[in-house]
Amino acid sequence: MSPFLPSHLEELKSCVLATAGIKNPIPADCKLLSILINKKTRQNVSETTLKRIYGFAHSKFKPSLFTINTMAQFCDYGDWQDFHEKKISHVKVNETVKNVSWKQLQQKAATVTNFTLQALKNKSVIPYSRTIKREFIDYHINEFVASASSGTVLAAPAGYGKTVAICHWIDEKLAADEAGNSGDIILLFSSNAVVSAVHTAGNISNWLLSLLGYSTDNDVKTALDVAQRKNGKFFLIVDGLDEFMFKNDQFRTILNQLVDVFAFYQSHSWFKLILTTRTSTWINNRHYVEFNSDTWYTGFHSNSNYINVPLFDLREINALCHKINPEAHETINPELAEIFNHPLYFQEHYKLHKNNFSLSSADHTSLYELIAAFILNKVYLSSFSSEKIAFINAIVGHLDIKNNNYSVNKLKIEHLIKQYPHAYLELISLGFLRELNESSAFQYNTHVQFGNYNYLEYSIAQALLFDNDERFDSNLMTAINKLLNHNPQKVNVLKWCVIHAVKVDGLKGLEHITEVELNPNEKTSLVTFIGELLEREYSLLQQSGPLMQYFRQPLSDKIFQYFFGLELINPHYRKTLNTLLKLELSNKRRIIILTALGIIALVELNLDELHKIIDKLETFPADDFNTLPVNPLNCFDTYYHCLKYNIVKKDAIRELTHLYFNPPEDKGNLRQSACNDMLYLLGVHTLLLCRNPRKILRLVNFLMKNYRADSLDDYTTQYGYFIQVHKASMLFEMGCRDKAGIVYKDLSAAFANNRSVLTPFMTILFHFLRIRTMMDTPKQLSILNEVKSITAIAEKSGYKYLKLRTMVMLMHNENLRNSAPEFYRHIAYEVNKICRENGLNVNMFLVEPLQTAQAKDD
């Protein structure tokens, strides 16, 4: 039989396509091609075999003699021998080498590159024509070419878009080279092609020669070192060189041969090697490649974790959305952009919504939907699914979660790998797990870890549910508290468990989330997530009536109370509250929800929305308000008239004054609950309008004595935090700096080592109080930094009222007016601007608050 070299196969493949009339093959063409071959030759070459031959599927072996004979027959030759004699052997390869020109070499490389490029493009989940060019790739390769290095690597975990990025660069490079008549040569091949090199030419050097049409008895250097080269460079690009693609000994052989090629040409300035690979492959094998670090440009930063391919930025996400669906004009929220900045999750979203692609309906639950879809397709519905799940659960059992150690020494799970070898290899190939070899001269250290925190959190949640017989109950909450105490993954693990609970039992067991110990920030994240999850489920259930029974079940008081608290206020809290309004609720509960919505409108200075809330509250009977400790309708009405018309209505002020002189007879109004917390704090805020700090302090002291005595000492509860901030603020207003300073000092100490647990709403109040302590002190100039912090939080979270309160307080400070006139003018401008933009009566803020030189304890 005549020799069968890669270049010969390329010639035969091209001839088959030409005979079939196919110019740019896509995977679907392989089925058509199989049918055409069968009709003409009466022989069967399967669609799968053709996909392997044309690079659309992974292949570990070269085509069989039967396959290449049948392909030759399809092209009107007797068999492969006939094709070789008539089409190939008459070409005198040695003479071609002797007379070769750099231009001819460029053309031959372009043929191979274009074919490989088309195969890689066709594998893109998002149609390649709708993908975008990544800016980082130009910078990286330009820096590489400008350096003295001969090799570079694009390293990142699976799904970062390395292949699409390099394809775009090659496309642009080829177009620019053709327009500018460049002398550069680009030879691209994928890891699928590398496998065939082992089975055909014997080594990569010979394979590269034969691929370009040269005989193997001529050195590559001879083929490339020609006078016509001038300043041209030879770019050898290997895409997807990942160890999971090969058997262990196979990968090592290929890597060693590639290293030999690189070692030979690294001294030549015209030779440039570009590899794309997974981070784990680079970490595990860089010691084979980086024998001289000066010859490699990696672009890794000190904190890059061996990743030099960035995730999408906001501009790229918007550009990609527009490319996919030009009719969608929405601009994605920067906060939600973090969900779609990972190319893998973006493409999963595309797969789910390709017919009507948009990010307008995305929310915090979208990430979980995308991860779940990926795991369903790649783990649950794939081969060895049960083995994969068993292996994942076993891995979780070996993690040292309590100490935040999420890597497992490979030696400790060697028995699991031997028990589930296929599952392990597939999980590694998916990027769901990764194996890292960080051994030193004194210690073997190969460890296995999850591909990212999303997979880790999902797996921990599934393992916990599995151990608890898939039940969402008190035992599960106890396990979460015990295993994930003070763990940054705790709230996300809980979210996965909540998804399971809602999907399986609706709202039946949701109240158990109240048993999990969460800090204010974690609780805010969870409440927002549950609201969006329920909204999504409600929209889906409207299409299948019988399941709506879950939303007609009344919420327990425990879970209902869980959804309320001033600390929860953020731009997404409104959505959660509006979702709750869709449930079966009593009038009292609807009033509570509308109260929370009214507070949000007030905080955002949205007077139109506040007026709508007032109108809705006025539809309820007066008796429904009599059962509440504070009448929210009167509070909102007072606020609305004060902010809009500078009129302080007396009804709410009178009721609140009556409250601290005459405690409520209904003991339920003095029972500790999140709803009562919210209503009493609304009352304290409303009293601020009377500009009498002594009156406000009386109400604060009444609440500390009669409602929640724990607020006297416990600064770490949400309610205790808010009440103490108000107490300190009023003491400052009354001139009691020493007493106020003690409260501020205790507040600072309570959160000194963990300020991150404070929600944005709690944080902005802390900055407000901090400014108050600095006024009329030598630290006055530091106020500017605090104002910047408040402004930043207000702009991101919409807390306009708190920003306004801060500005008004500073505007009435005489010392600031005299010591920093420009800053004072800026403050005054901001007050007028906020009032003008939000329809407020600025005259309300021009009157200085009353102050008392000395205060007595009430």
The whole-angstrom separation of Cα 425 and Cα 435 is 10
- Position 97 scores a pLDDT of 45
- Position 333 scores a pLDDT of 75
Neighbouring-strand partners of residue 190: 239
Asked if 761 and 799 touch (Cβ cutoff 8 Å), the reply is yes
The whole-angstrom separation of Cα 144 and Cα 235 is 12
Comparing 282 with 287, the larger pLDDT belongs to 282
pLDDT at 3 over 60: no
- Position 202 scores a pLDDT of 57
For 321-375, write each residue's pLDDT tens digit. 999 998 877 677 777 788 889 999 999 999 988 888 888 878 888 889 999 999 9
Q: Rank 31-45, 387-401, 693-707 by mean pLDDT and report only the highest.
A: 387-401
The whole-angstrom separation of Cα 665 and Cα 663 is 7
Range in 57-71, 538-552, 568-582, 700-714 with the lowest mean pLDDT: 538-552
Those residues with Cβ within 8 angstroms of residue 148's Cβ, 6 or more apart along the chain or in another chain: 269, 294
For 300-320, write each residue's pLDDT tens digit. 887 678 899 999 998 999 999
Range in 31-40, 139-148, 152-161, 501-510 with the lowest mean pLDDT: 501-510
The whole-angstrom separation of Cα 492 and Cα 502 is 15
- Position 5 scores a pLDDT of 61
pLDDT at 117 over 50: yes
- Position 309 scores a pLDDT of 94
How many C-beta atoms surround the C-beta of residue 794 within 10 A?
Answer: 21
- Position 213 scores a pLDDT of 57
What the block records as the tokens of 432 is: 């769901």
Entry pTM: 0.79
Handedness of CA 60, 61, 63, 64 (dihedral sign): negative
DSSP at 756? G
- Three-state secondary structure call for residue 173: helix
What the block records as the tokens of 852 is: 């008392």
Whose structure tokens read 């139109």? 608
Comparing 649 with 58, the larger pLDDT belongs to 649
Average pLDDT, the chain: 85
Q: How confident is the model at residue 855 (pLDDT cuts 50, 70, 90)?
A: very low
For 162-185, write each residue's pLDDT tens digit. 999 999 999 999 888 877 777 888
- Position 212 scores a pLDDT of 60
pLDDT at 287 over 90: no
140 vs 147, 258, 568, CA distance in Å?
A: 11, 22, 43
Do β-strands 446-450 and 407-409 pair in parallel, antiparallel, or remain unpaired? Answer: antiparallel
- Position 360 scores a pLDDT of 81
Instruction: Tell me the residue ranges of DSSP E strands in 156-270.
Output: 185-190, 234-239
User: Residues 152-164: what's their mean pLDDT?
Assistant: 92
Torsion angles phi and psi, residue 186, rounded to 5:
-120, 120
Torsion angles phi and psi, residue 665, rounded to 5:
-75, -30
- Position 462 scores a pLDDT of 96
Whose structure tokens read 């092609």? 193
The whole-angstrom separation of Cα 458 and Cα 368 is 9
For 537-560, write each residue's pLDDT tens digit. 777 766 555 445 666 777 889 999
For 802-842, write each residue's pLDDT tens digit. 999 999 999 988 888 888 888 889 999 999 999 999 999 99
Comparing 223 with 498, the larger pLDDT belongs to 498
- Position 393 scores a pLDDT of 95
For 707-757, write each residue's pLDDT tens digit. 887 666 667 788 989 999 999 999 998 989 999 999 999 888 888 777 788
Q: How confident is the model at residue 473 (pLDDT cuts 50, 70, 90)?
A: very high
- Position 206 scores a pLDDT of 66
Q: How confident is the model at residue 226 (pLDDT cuts 50, 70, 90)?
A: low
